[in-house]
Amino acid sequence: MELRRVVVTGLGALTPIGNSVDEYWKNLIKGVSGAGPITRFDCSKFKARFACEVKNFNPDDYFDRKEVRKYDRCSHLGIVCADEAFRDAGFDLNTLNRDRAGVIWASGIGGLETFINEVTAFATGDGTPRFNPFFIPKMISDITAGHISIKYGFHGPNFATVSACASSANALIDAFNYIRLNKADVFIAGGSEAAITQAGVGGFTALHALSTRNDDPATASRPYDKDRDGFVMGEGAGALIFEELEHAKARGAKIYGEIIGGGLSADAYHMTAPHPDGLGAILAMRNALSDAGLEKESIDHINTHGTSTPAGDIPETKAIVALFGEHAFKMNINSTKSMTGHLLGAAGAIEAIASLLAVINSIVPPTINHFTDDPEIAPLNFTFNKAQERIVNYAMSNTFGFGGHNASVIFTKFKP
């Protein structure tokens, strides 16, 4: 069968460096760090006392009092972000066939804050089980997808993808496939995460995954730098509206660009560590190129997973060099996590948006906080410290997750 073309007609972003797509993009180009002292709980006894929190976000500004109490912060962020994308796409619900519109929304962890609050209350009580009746629906990872579908009356495919830090990239690839296989016409796809909690920060610190550069949070996320010491926890959400091309044209929608390929793979190697030679990353990127029908020389820019961990950055670089060969040195490579921190299950969505905007605006955001070259990392063009202008015809976005989950997506300029 002939695969249908899938375009992007709406964007939404709620991030540590901007509560809208426009603000997020401007601060990416400026090289703004979203890191600062944790405000959401008393972290004075924690080894990592900073994170990339969403700023100036009050759910009372978006939801009535009952909704605020019924939703976890993960859903608050996701619903608000999805609404920006929905409004940006300019749909008319009176004419949209909502049986052909769906939601695929990701979260790596889900309602962690709700889980902590409920279990803590029980553990410190008298043993009487006085759990909130909304405990389970607030906590489960799929609930944001459900809330978004209810909000707009979308009756099409509706589910959550959970693959750790690759979760929202998986959501994008699934939505892409459903549309091009004629299973739907429209999707709200993306993800949200709100894991800056005692258990989230404490748990990742116990894994030795987080930076403990408490004296200088703004420079703590330093992908590909010799002195990187771990990632910085982030929170937020990203949403993309995917739409079948002819459907978008028929309603006169503005088109940002086109998604043309997605690749998935598994390391099948270790619970938390990537394959040391990047074999899973190579396969995911190769699969994305094959899916898009592209030669490797076509890619101009890669937004890497680039978490700033000692173990993680080296294998991804090895994978890029192994797959792209000499062309690896001709691309602009970056890690926007240097600014946003690591949004875990929502990372793939906000980084896909950054990749698409690089295509649209012909400028690649920087990898900030580079001070010292790492001799174990190939000297690629990591777009260190300052944005670089270049024509970006094809951009790839990589996200990898605990459990060995790998996902790569490719965006291009829209060609009628």
Q: How many CB atoms lie within 10 A of CB 84?
A: 20
Q: Hey, what domains does the chain have and what are their CATH numbers?
A: 7-250 (3.40.47.10), 261-412 (3.40.47.10)
Local structure of 14: helix, strand or coil = strand
108 φ/ψ angles, rounded to the nearest 5 degrees: -75, -30
Which residues carry out catalysis? Answer: 165, 305, 342
* 24-79: pLDDT as tens digits: 999 999 999 999 999 999 999 999 999 999 999 999 999 999 999 999 999 999 99
Which pLDDT value is given to residue 22?
98
User: Is-contact 254 393, C-beta < 8 A?
Assistant: no
User: What is the token pair recorded at 369?
Assistant: 């906080």
What pLDDT score does 276 carry? 95
Q: Which residue has the tokens 């995911």?
A: 284
Q: Which residues of the chain have pLDDT under 50?
A: none
Supply the pLDDT for residue 102: 98
For the chain, helix (H) and strand (E) counts, in that order, are 13, 14
Query: Which DSSP string corresponds to 134-168?
Result: THHHHHSTTHHHHHHHHHHT--S-EE---BTBTHH
- The type of residue at 413 is K
The pLDDT, as a whole number, for residue 1 is 76
Q: Which residue is associated with the tokens 């009952």?
A: 66
Six-digit token pair at 408?
């790569």
